[in-house]
Amino acid sequence: MSNKMCVRLGAYAGAFVGLLVAFLHLSPCCASPPGPALSVLDCIVAGLIVAVIVVLFGVAFVMIVRPMPLLPLLGVALSIALIIGVLLSPLAYWIANAALAVLVCGILGALIGWLVCWLLCRGRTLVLEKG
Amino acid sequence: MSNPPVCGAQQPGNIPGPFDWRVLAIIATGAGVVDWVANNGVPVANQLIEFITGDLAPNSALAAPAAGAFAVLALLAYYAFTADGCIVPKPKSIKICISGIVEQTVDLSSTAVLILAPFALGPNGAFDVVVKSKYWDRVTENAFWVFCSKKGAAVLRCIVKDKTSCAARVGSLIGGVAGAVAGVALGFLASLIPAALSCAIFLIFAWLCFLIALIVSAIVAAATTYVGAVIGGWLGVLATSLADDPVGDEWHSISPGTIVTVRGDWTTDPDVGNNELFYTTAIHRTGQFATPPSYTTADADSTADDDCGMPLEAPS
């Protein structure tokens, strides 16, 4: 799996988490002043749902255009989704402005994607050297 | 060049791949689209919704489906604006001619891609040529990686273009834009379903209900955009499938052992760092080697003089 693919998966997942979690401010339940603000845990659950859905669509598309072993791809994609969901959704909710949240979380998501792949590829190199 | 090329990595370190600015550009554009839609709506989609529901949709409610549609459009743009000479010219390429023996052929065509993602149609195939020693510099010059045959002879990879891919991408872009407008309207209408089920009854989980409505609207818009893109891509493929394709026809007839003279645009692969012909513009068969693969440079040198000095292509 190339770094570029991780970056794109991360960017897409981050941007959508930014958009949809920031949009929760528009909900009658969660906007201020009408209702209570979401807890950090609620934000994380919302972010995880969005990120997992986005990366699953991404994995499905990758499997169509560039077939590769599914399990490793799925593992990397879900790792990216997990980190993005946990770290970026509270940030997106705090930013509140949807456009700004897309920008910030998209860029951070791309960075997270790159970082996850970099860590995994570094591990693979070590294994090869040992072998 | 007197010494044979060394197979594999040519230089220490990683291939200095170009920074992918497109990801940042797409994110920034996406943020701009969300902001614009939240303030202004989507012109045609707004009127469609008003026509169907008799009511104007709030602009902010269109942002989620617009983002779903934009995500697919960004994907289409990524393929459409790949620097392969379709819309965006190739970054660096020189027209060259080489000769040698075909080591292997690889069929890269995919029915699944043609049907499910025609905008992502890649090259038709590739073949590796064990080049004569006088063409070694074509394999090694500025390369980060050198491919070799099983017997250790330097090979140059030659990529064969799919004649329909460019039209498929342009068709997908047009179809995608049309699908996006319909998708935003459909996405908004789909989001009304969870709302109609009354999110309020979920009390403390009302935010989850609202989130589901947002996700549904984005997915419906993305799916509609995608369907538009696929249909546009198919039409593009259909329009160009009957066109002449001498390189594609010739490529189907070559096999390992074919002695060839090949012309094409010589460039360096940005991912692997090997030199290659991207794309092959002419293939001329000059014979068949007696033994099966693998081949050595001596085998390639033992074949008859190539016809690189002769014009292979009709002047255009």
- Whether chain A has a CB inside 8 Å of the CB on B34: the answer is yes
Contact B31 A11 (CB under 8 A): no
B289 shares a domain with B251: yes
User: Least CB-CB distance to A98: which of B26, B63, B75?
Assistant: B63
Residues 6+ apart with CB under 8 A from B297: B4, B130, B131, B132, B133, B136, B153, B154
Residues 6+ apart with CB under 8 A from A66: none
Structure tokens at A118: 């970099």
Please report whether residue B4 resides in a domain. no
B147 shares a domain with B37: no
Please report whether residue B61 resides in a domain. yes
> What is the reported pLDDT for B209?
80
B157 shares a domain with B221: no
Mean pLDDT by 10 residues, chain B (316 residues): 81 64 89 89 81 76 90 93 84 86 91 93 91 91 90 92 90 95 90 66 71 90 96 94 84 90 89 86 89 91 79 44
> Does the ipTM exceed 0.90?
no
Phi, psi values for residue A67, rounded to 5°: -55, 135
pLDDT, tens digit, 9 for 90 and up, residues A65-118: 888 889 989 999 999 999 999 999 999 999 989 999 999 999 999 999 999 988
- Domain with residue B142: its CATH number is 2.40.50.140
B185 shares a domain with B150: no
Residues 6+ apart with CB under 8 A from B139: B5, B131, B146, B147, B154, B155, B156, B275
What is the rounded (10 degree) CA torsion for A34, A35, A38, A42? -120
B177 shares a domain with B118: no
Which of A81, A26, A124, A11 is closest to B217 using CA atoms? A26
Tracing tokens 């942002």 back to the chain, one arrives at: B63
Tracing tokens 């550009």 back to the chain, one arrives at: B25
- Whether chain B has a CB inside 8 Å of the CB on A37: the answer is no
Domain end among B213, B240, B267: B240
What pTM does this model have? 0.84
Tracing tokens 């993305």 back to the chain, one arrives at: B222
- Whether chain A has a CB inside 8 Å of the CB on B31: the answer is yes
- Whether chain A has a CB inside 8 Å of the CB on B63: the answer is yes
Please report whether residue B130 resides in a domain. yes
B56 shares a domain with B44: yes
Range of the domain at B34: 24-83+167-240
Contact B27 A106 (CB under 8 A): yes
- Whether chain A has a CB inside 8 Å of the CB on B155: the answer is no
Please report the number of interchain residue pairs, chain A to chain B, with beta-carbon separation below 8 angstroms. 106
Please report whether residue B89 resides in a domain. no
- Whether chain A has a CB inside 8 Å of the CB on B116: the answer is yes
User: What distance in Å separates residue B32's CA from the closest CA in chain A?
Assistant: 7
> What is the reported pLDDT for B149?
92
User: What distance in Å separates residue B121's CA from the closest CA in chain A?
Assistant: 8
How far is Cα A85 from Cα A73, in angstroms, rounded to an integer? Answer: 18
Contact A46 B207 (CB under 8 A): yes
- Whether chain B has a CB inside 8 Å of the CB on A76: the answer is no
Number of domains making up chain B: 2
How far is Cα A111 from Cα A8, in angstroms, rounded to an integer? Answer: 10
pLDDT, tens digit, 9 for 90 and up, residues B202-226: 656 677 888 888 899 999 999 999 9
Please report whether residue B293 resides in a domain. yes
Structure tokens at B279: 């794309």
More confident of the two residues A2 and A129:
A2
Which of B96, B111, B241 is closest to B158 using CA atoms? B96
Angle (nearest 5°) at CA B40 between A90 and A31: 30
B160 shares a domain with B249: yes
How far is Cα A48 from Cα B208, in angstroms, rounded to an integer? Answer: 12
Please report whether residue B14 resides in a domain. no
Please report whether residue B7 resides in a domain. no
B118 shares a domain with B229: no
> What is the reported pLDDT for B313?
47
- Whether chain A has a CB inside 8 Å of the CB on B220: the answer is no
Contact B30 A20 (CB under 8 A): no
B56 shares a domain with B147: no
Q: List chain B residues with CB under 8 Å of A64.
A: 112-113, 116-117, 120
Beta-bridge partner residues of B99: B261
Contact B117 A24 (CB under 8 A): no
Domain end among B240, B255, B289: B240
Contact A61 B75 (CB under 8 A): yes
Please report whether residue B113 resides in a domain. yes
